[in-house]
Chains A and B, each alone.
Chain A
Amino acid sequence: MKRLVFRHKRCFPAAMCAICASICSAEVPAEVRPDSAITLKELNVSASRKPLATVQELKGTDLQSLSSTSIADALKYFAGVQIKDYGGLGGLKTVNVRSLGAQHVGVYIDGIRITNAQNGTVDLGKYSLSTLESVSLYNANKLDICQSASEFASGATVYMRTRRPDRDSISLLGGWSSFHTWRARATAEFARKGWCGFIDAEYLNSRGDYPFRYKSQYEDTVGRRRNSDIEFTRVEGTLFKGGFSSHMYAYFSERGCPGGIVRRLSDKYNNVGREWDTDIFVQASYEHSFGRQHRIKANAKYTYEYLRYNTDYPENQNTARVDNHYWQNDAYASISYSFSPWHFLSLNCGYDARISWLDADLKKFCPVRRLDQKAVLAAQFDWRSLRLAASILYQHYKDHTELKTGAADPLSRFTPAITLGYSFLGISLRGWYKCIFRAPTLNDLYYTQAGNRNLKPEYTRQWNVGVEYQYGRGPWSVSAQADAYLNYIDNRIVCLPLKGTYTWSMMNYGKTFCRGLNATLSGVAATRGWRFSLTASLTWQKDLNRTNPDDPDTYDKPICYSPTLSYGITGIIAWRMISLTVSDLHVSKRMWSYADPRDILEPYNNVDLKLTARYLGITASLEVNDLLDVQYEHIPRYPMPGRSFRLTLSYSFDAIIKSVKTRKI
């Protein structure tokens, strides 16, 4: 059977996290920097927020204590999150929240969405944790004041907030890890006269030849992953001043795309594919307040993405020999304004426009252009203990193409969201509803020999009730939250073979109904040089297929790949300049087909350790991922790496620079 959609792969994990809705809550990092004013403005905003949105956040020391390199590793400990990972550093890693599907999760850097016009998903493996101040996950809306319209347009949103340096420094980092992996990073930061920013450059090279083993009654397959190498260079720069922020990002990579581990008599033939990526974006944002009542924010972004996928190799006897190139350009601008006529009311409106161009040297393909416009009206009402937020979002999509299949009809839709909250005695109750859709992507509509221009949008409706409690200040604090939810998804966009032909096509097919519970608990204690932190998250859900009532084999049966139970526990013990992070992640069994009850992915536990020591600007860390060498999979026959080690050494010159600076002054 021919498959049209090309494949990526994925990679590995490690991690930990902390979850706290209580943004400016009271964690006192072990190495408190008295002068770390971070951004005062943001702090103020955070401080004024009472918990209303459903949010989990990981930041500061906890974030850096993670045994991880990519944000996928950090997110996997959030409640309600499923990471889909094809294994290996180069493997495609996407995040799915509450089983909505990866394309319903918006990923934002400093308030501006990362987009992929082609397939609508973001490969989290391309973004580093090292440049981030915090990572947060919001179910439904963030409910900040002055948000852009596109921030209302996803079922769930991941916010990555870039670190704002508070001093001048230069740091160098070198690391070695298992499977022939090494990396180097250099960062220069500055902060003076209200301006701050950094340049961060990283290079990584990994052969990714990790061992795997499949052992069952019917097989004992031992092997090493082949064609799982990756090499990338990432360069990022930022510049901030007050309400102005800007970010430049460039990522260049080459990687192998290994296939599933299937029965072969030898390694003589391999369905090898290789992929080259270039991702570049520049973005800027400006926010300004007028008096106490008005606030305005403008965003602009330009993205260029290039992808080359090549299978034209002699050892590839299995697929077409393709060497395809894809180009995407994306220009985005938004403006939003908020107005607070009284202290208990704020109104927010916003307009976003995005133009995307996609071109590829596929047969029967020609450039596609999409204009995507969004407008939002939102209101927040905050009266004593009662809070209410409501928004209505309008989206309009219009495509232009010379393709003979023609452009899809323009799409216009309104979707609402509403949130209600009430607080008493440190307890906050909340309930919300959100309806949102994802528009078919350009791939879905126009990809040669699969695209279907008649696709309808895929709708999600989410209901949620939650409670949050917070206790303590200063060195001691505990917070807990729990949310119960219902999700309905209609008109899922899937690729299926057409009835009575040999070809595949995108179709609207499928409904799901999901009931779930997310709970998190976190506690921090700090005393005399010691700091203890414990975070636990738990997800329980029943995610049911409601597609075809006439099919007893699938109707009301669990959705494939969806675990019923997953939990993560992370503990951090720090003493002066030494810290130890231990985390354990559990994912229960998942079925991957309805055909045989034995078609399951086994449950697994991942235990990760990270030991870090600092001395005079030198930081050394040792990480062990998958300590117990558990063999597991997210996708059948795509094994994940087992136990691996990582050693990292870094040296920061910041103390020296600082002292020189002080002397000059």
Chain B
Amino acid sequence: MPNMPIAMKYTKMKPMAAAACLALAASLPCASEARERIILLNEGNWQADNGRISYFDDGRVVSNEWFRETNGYKLGDTPNDIIQVNESLIAIAVNWSNIVQFITPDGKAVAATEDVPNNRKLASDGGDYVYVSSYGHEVGTVDGMAYFTKGYVAKIDVRTFKVVDAVEVGYEPEGIAFYKGRLFVANTGGYAFNENHDYETTVSVIDAKTMSIERNIDTGQINLYGKMSQSGRYLCINSPGDYYDTPAATIILDCDAALEGRPDRECYVPLPYASTYNCTASDGTFYAIGSRYSYYTGEYTFNYVCIDPAKVFESSGGEGVSEKMPGSVIDDIKGMAMPYGIYVNPYSGYIYATDAGEFVAAGALYQWTPDGELAGVHKVYINPAHFLALPDEKNESAEIIEADATSGNIIFNLQGIPVSNPVPGQIYISNGKKFIHK
């Protein structure tokens, strides 16, 4: 089946990036008008085996079943997270299929493992290991099966695609981040409403090398569920509450404080907002969309906020939260039927969000310029949720240059996370380009 460009859902303005790059392509390369390349996971419908990848390139959706077309078979049921592991490898957690799928940046399947059933979210050290959180109780490791009462985090060696180690954390661990050789894992206790345990309130800190727990930070908020965003030393963690007595909250966690051994209460600041869908913006702040809902009243309050984590910490939560995102982003999101994901391209600063619409209809991918001007709305597939930006190949072919990270620009690692402490010899992204830090 040939790749059919999918018609734009609404006849809004043409993608600016595409127009700009097409116009300039013949003349000179422009880093700031780089080709936008986004891999988007569509979760599909639960148990319908229709998880799909949309591939968006140069202002248009090239394919809404990219994985199938590239590999000749389906991705699986309910893909739940996607990250860049290293330069040549991308990992996808396909939750209901019990598969961690590895692909190359051009979409080719490399390996898949079912050793981590009920996998949830992914993190990487940028090199040889992928870390996966799992709600399951079993893991197949190189040393045989391991069994846990609660949930666990598994460590996969991407040279062999085998699980080399695993450690038990809290019940139903969800978001996971890698920082300074440690893993920060948010425990949800998400099955608490029908299993015989309570919601969790902790973030587990794990030594990634030895896969042993260093400490558990009690955040005082229950059910730390959903995507966790990272910006330098800070994490943005969503607590949806229990929808009954405990309202939703957002936790900003300072990883350095945790590693310095400060008391739990000094490691985080809770904010009275929901961050159901959150991401890291190109200036190092967090964007969060969410609603606080109660089954008692049936009422909900939406919030669309930008969180500056450093300011939040300085003021102990008194400042640092604004209801501002660039341009028309918030207004456009408010017009969505069902916002389902938000993302900022670390290479270009372009902003993306998805609308799941009616759940059995195609969702939409919204694209804004870094200034928040709506650049296009594109039809994708059912429940589009998880993003990964790829570098512009034209820029990439210009060779990786050694550079010093002192230009004042924000530096991102390959996972798209702003870093404050680049490691010499590693590859980072700055100003839309990759470079090796001296």
Interface residues of B in 138-179 (CB under 8 A from A): 138
Once bound together, how far apart are the Cα atoms of A265 and B47, in whole Å?
15
Q: Is B64 an interface residue (CB 8 A)?
A: yes
Residue of B nearest to A406 (CB): B296
Q: Which residues of A contact B46 (CB under 8 A)?
A: 1, 3
Known: A324-B194, A594-B361. A499 touches B96 (CB 8 A): no
- Picked from B43, B76, B300, B361, the residue with its CB within 8 Å of the CB of A551 is B361
Q: Is B321 an interface residue (CB 8 A)?
A: no
Known: A269-B98, A317-B117, A596-B381. A501 touches B77 (CB 8 A): no
Interface residues of B in 297-350 (CB under 8 A from A): 298, 300, 302, 337-339
Beta-carbon contact of B291 and A553 below 8 Å? no
- Picked from B118, B244, B361, the residue with its CB within 8 Å of the CB of A317 is B118
Q: Is A181 an interface residue (CB 8 A)?
A: no
B297 to chain A minimum Cβ distance, whole angstroms, is 9
A589 to chain B minimum Cβ distance, whole angstroms, is 16
- Picked from A317, A320, A593, A636, the residue with its CB within 8 Å of the CB of B191 is A320
Beta-carbon contact of A404 and B136 below 8 Å? no
0/1 interface trace, chain A 44-80, chain B, CB 8 Å (1 if under)? 0000000000000000000000000000000000000
0/1 interface trace, chain A 442-482, chain B, CB 8 Å (1 if under)? 00000011011110000000000000000000000000000
Beta-carbon contact of A321 and B195 below 8 Å? yes
Residue of A nearest to B134 (CB): A317
B139 to chain A minimum Cβ distance, whole angstroms, is 10
Q: Is A615 an interface residue (CB 8 A)?
A: no
0/1 interface trace, chain B 339-374, chain A, CB 8 Å (1 if under)? 100000000000000001111111100000000000
Once bound together, how far apart are the Cα atoms of A364 and B248, in whole Å?
18
Residue of A nearest to B357 (CB): A551
Of the candidate stretches B25-33, B67-75, B405-413, B429-437, the one touching chain A is B67-75
Beta-carbon contact of B289 and A500 below 8 Å? yes
Beta-carbon contact of B194 and A322 below 8 Å? yes
Q: Which residues of B contact A452 (CB under 8 A)?
A: 295, 298
Known: A321-B195, A449-B243. A501 touches B296 (CB 8 A): no
Q: Which residues of A contact B363 (CB under 8 A)?
A: 595
Beta-carbon contact of A501 and B276 below 8 Å? yes
Beta-carbon contact of B339 and A499 below 8 Å? yes
Beta-carbon contact of A405 and B94 below 8 Å? no
Among A262, A264, A265, A321, find the residue whose CB has the most chain B CB atoms closer than 10 A.
Answer: A262
- Picked from A269, A496, A593, A594, the residue with its CB within 8 Å of the CB of B114 is A269
Q: Which residues of B contact A218 (CB under 8 A)?
A: 68, 72-74
- Picked from A219, A503, A595, the residue with its CB within 8 Å of the CB of B361 is A595
Known: A317-B118, A593-B45, A596-B362. A404 touches B244 (CB 8 A): yes
- Picked from B112, B195, B293, the residue with its CB within 8 Å of the CB of A320 is B195
Q: Is A318 an interface residue (CB 8 A)?
A: yes
Known: A218-B74, A318-B96. A554 touches B361 (CB 8 A): yes
Beta-carbon contact of A500 and B300 below 8 Å? yes
- Picked from B50, B76, B362, the residue with its CB within 8 Å of the CB of A553 is B362
A260 to chain B minimum Cβ distance, whole angstroms, is 3
Interface range on chain A: under 10, 10 to 19, 20 to 34, or 35 or more? Answer: 35 or more
Beta-carbon contact of A448 and B361 below 8 Å? no
User: Is the contact region of chain B dominated by helix, strand, or loop, or is it mixed?
Assistant: loop
Q: Is B49 an interface residue (CB 8 A)?
A: yes
Beta-carbon contact of B77 and A263 below 8 Å? yes
Beta-carbon contact of A497 and B359 below 8 Å? yes
Residue of A nearest to B238 (CB): A502
Beta-carbon contact of B338 and A497 below 8 Å? yes
Beta-carbon contact of A500 and B291 below 8 Å? yes
Once bound together, how far apart are the Cα atoms of A363 and B381, in whole Å?
35
0/1 interface trace, chain A 314-339, chain B, CB 8 Å (1 if under)? 10011011101000000000000000
B247 to chain A minimum Cβ distance, whole angstroms, is 11
Q: Is B290 an interface residue (CB 8 A)?
A: yes
Residue of A nearest to B139 (CB): A317
Residue of A nearest to B43 (CB): A1
Beta-carbon contact of B194 and A594 below 8 Å? no
Known: A263-B74, A500-B274, A596-B64. A554 touches B298 (CB 8 A): no
Q: Which residues of A contact B240 (CB under 8 A)?
A: 501-503
Q: Which residues of B contact A595 (CB under 8 A)?
A: 360-363, 381-382
Q: Is A268 an interface residue (CB 8 A)?
A: yes
Once bound together, how far apart are the Cα atoms of A271 and B97, in whole Å?
10
Once bound together, how far apart are the Cα atoms of A318 and B191, in whole Å?
11
Once bound together, how far apart are the Cα atoms of A512 and B249, in whole Å?
38
Q: Which residues of B contact A259 (CB under 8 A)?
A: 47
- Picked from A219, A362, A498, A596, the residue with its CB within 8 Å of the CB of B194 is A362
Residues of B within 8 Å of A, CB-based: how many? 69
Q: Is A592 an interface residue (CB 8 A)?
A: yes
Interface residues of B in 358-407 (CB under 8 A from A): 358-363, 379, 381-382
Once bound together, how far apart are the Cα atoms of A501 and B276, in whole Å?
6
B53 to chain A minimum Cβ distance, whole angstroms, is 13
Q: Is A628 an interface residue (CB 8 A)?
A: no
Known: A449-B193, A452-B298, A595-B381. A501 touches B290 (CB 8 A): yes
Once bound together, how far apart are the Cα atoms of A448 and B195, in whole Å?
13
Beta-carbon contact of B96 and A262 below 8 Å? yes
0/1 interface trace, chain A 357-373, chain B, CB 8 Å (1 if under)? 00000111000000000
Beta-carbon contact of A553 and B361 below 8 Å? yes
Known: A553-B361, A593-B360. A318 touches B274 (CB 8 A): no
Residue of B nearest to A548 (CB): B358
Q: Is A266 an interface residue (CB 8 A)?
A: yes
Beta-carbon contact of A637 and B339 below 8 Å? no
0/1 interface trace, chain A 236-272, chain B, CB 8 Å (1 if under)? 0000000000000000000000011111111011010
B390 to chain A minimum Cβ distance, whole angstroms, is 24
Once bound together, how far apart are the Cα atoms of A266 and B117, in whole Å?
11
Q: Is B137 an interface residue (CB 8 A)?
A: yes
Beta-carbon contact of B339 and A260 below 8 Å? no
Q: Which residues of A contact B362 (CB under 8 A)?
A: 553, 594-596
Beta-carbon contact of B98 and A499 below 8 Å? no
Beta-carbon contact of A554 and B117 below 8 Å? no
Q: Is B12 an interface residue (CB 8 A)?
A: no
Q: Which residues of A contact B96 (CB under 8 A)?
A: 262, 271, 318
Q: Is A2 an interface residue (CB 8 A)?
A: yes
Q: Which residues of B contact A31 (CB under 8 A)?
A: none
Q: Is A560 an interface residue (CB 8 A)?
A: yes
Beta-carbon contact of A364 and B77 below 8 Å? no
Once bound together, how far apart are the Cα atoms of A405 and B298, in whole Å?
9
Known: A448-B193, A500-B291. A262 touches B49 (CB 8 A): yes
Q: Is A659 an interface residue (CB 8 A)?
A: no
Q: Is B287 an interface residue (CB 8 A)?
A: no
Beta-carbon contact of B300 and A499 below 8 Å? yes
Interface residues of A in 128-147 (CB under 8 A from B): none
Residue of B nearest to A321 (CB): B195
- Picked from A317, A503, A554, the residue with its CB within 8 Å of the CB of B243 is A503
Beta-carbon contact of A502 and B359 below 8 Å? no
18 more A-B residue pairs beyond the given contacts A260-B47, A269-B138, A496-B359, with a C-beta to C-beta distance below 8 A? A3-B46, A262-B48, A263-B49, A263-B76, A263-B97, A265-B113, A265-B114, A269-B98, A269-B136, A317-B98, A321-B195, A448-B193, A453-B298, A454-B298, A500-B274, A503-B240, A551-B361, A636-B45
- Show 5 A/B contacts (Cβ-Cβ < 8 Å), sorted by A: A218-B73, A260-B48, A264-B98, A317-B98, A452-B298
7 tightest CB-CB pairs across the interface, nearest first? A500-B291, A260-B47, A263-B76, A320-B191, A317-B136, A317-B117, A262-B77
